[in-house]
């Protein structure tokens, strides 16, 4: 922590679009006393920020650099923050259509709606040595290969799995979901005969 911090982040609410070029380098503020917990709660000096409007304000200036480091950044200042997992949580799912025409939309914990598709892919990660899936959706790109993501909470993931259909990715049989004509794998297709019978029975 930088106890001598003199920065005033955020200076004003930023949009999600890239920051405008100002011709000057933002002042480095070092480590800011912010943490985004795994459950999506924002902390300031260990105390939760309970006003959603304030969280949305900070979220608007959140950036992720090419090394995967998270920053709160305005045209004038920037400082690093800690993100335990993903910056946001996807807490609600809405869908229309079916098959390749299906459209999946997620609402985040700051009420931003993100539609899965080419610019907002869904991915499923696994802890080393574990088999518990952790699903994510890209909210917006970072400055490199590391995007800013929302972790899909368990209840919403179960809804997503209920929409899954068989598919093939790189020669592997998988279960996945369609959105905006893109197929997103969620996991391997079970080989259990009972599952096959149930699928055929519809």
Q: What is the CATH superfamily name and number for domain 88-201? A: duf1285 protein (2.30.270.10)
Rounded to 5 degrees, what are φ and ψ at 201? Answer: -70, -20
- The answer to whether residue 117 scores a pLDDT higher than 80 is yes
SS3 200: helix
- If DSSP codes are grouped into helix, strand and coil, which group holds residue 167? strand
What 198-201 contacts at long range (C-beta under 8 Å, 24+ apart), as own/partner pairs, is: 199/166
With H, G, I as helix, E, B as strand and everything else as coil, classify residue 70: strand
CATH fold of 1-84 reads duf1285 like fold (3.10.540)
68: left (phi over 0), alpha (psi -120 to 50) or beta: left
Residue 95 clears pLDDT 80, i.e. is over it: yes
Residue 44 has pLDDT above 80, yes or no: yes
Report the helix count and the strand count for the chain, using DSSP H and E: 3, 15
Q: What is the mean pLDDT of residues 168-189?
A: 93
Q: Domain residues of the chain, as ranges?
A: 1-84, 88-201
The model's confidence at residue 201, banded by pLDDT at 50, 70 and 90, is very low
Predicted local distance difference test score (pLDDT) of residue 147: 97
Closest to 99 in 3D by CA, of 160, 156, 162, 177: 177
pLDDT, tens only, 68-86: 999 999 989 999 999 999 9
Q: Which residues is 113 bridged to in the sheet? A: 107
* 3-state SS record for 83-132: ECCCCEEEEEEEEECCHHHCEEEEEECCCCEEECECCECEEEEECCCCCC
Q: Please tell me whether the overall predicted TM-score, pTM, comes out greater than 0.85 for this model.
A: no
């Amino acid at each position: 922590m930088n106890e001598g911090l003199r920065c005033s982040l955020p200076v004003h609410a930023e949009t999600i679009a890239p920051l405008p070029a100002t011709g000057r380098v933002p002042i480095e503020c070092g480590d800011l006393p912010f943490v985004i917990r795994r459950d999506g709660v924002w902390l300031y000096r260990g105390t939760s920020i309970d006003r959603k409007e304030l969280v949305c304000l900070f979220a608007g200036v959140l950036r992720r650099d090419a090394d995967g480091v998270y920053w709160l950044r305005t045209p004038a200042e920037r400082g690093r923050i800690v993100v335990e997992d993903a910056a946001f949580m996807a807490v609600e799912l809405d869908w229309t259509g079916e098959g390749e025409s299906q459209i999946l939309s997620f609402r985040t914990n700051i009420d931003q709606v993100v539609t899965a598709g080419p610019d907002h892919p869904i991915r499923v990660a696994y802890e080393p040595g574990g088999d518990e899936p952790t699903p994510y959706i890209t909210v917006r790109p970072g400055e490199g290969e590391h995007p800013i993501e929302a972790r899909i909470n368990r209840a919403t993931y179960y809804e997503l799995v209920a929409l899954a259909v068989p598919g093939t990715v790189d020669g592997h049989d998988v279960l996945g979901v369609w959105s905006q004509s893109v197929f997103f794998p969620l996991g391997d297709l079970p080989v259990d005969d009972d599952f096959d019978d149930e699928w055929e029975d519809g």
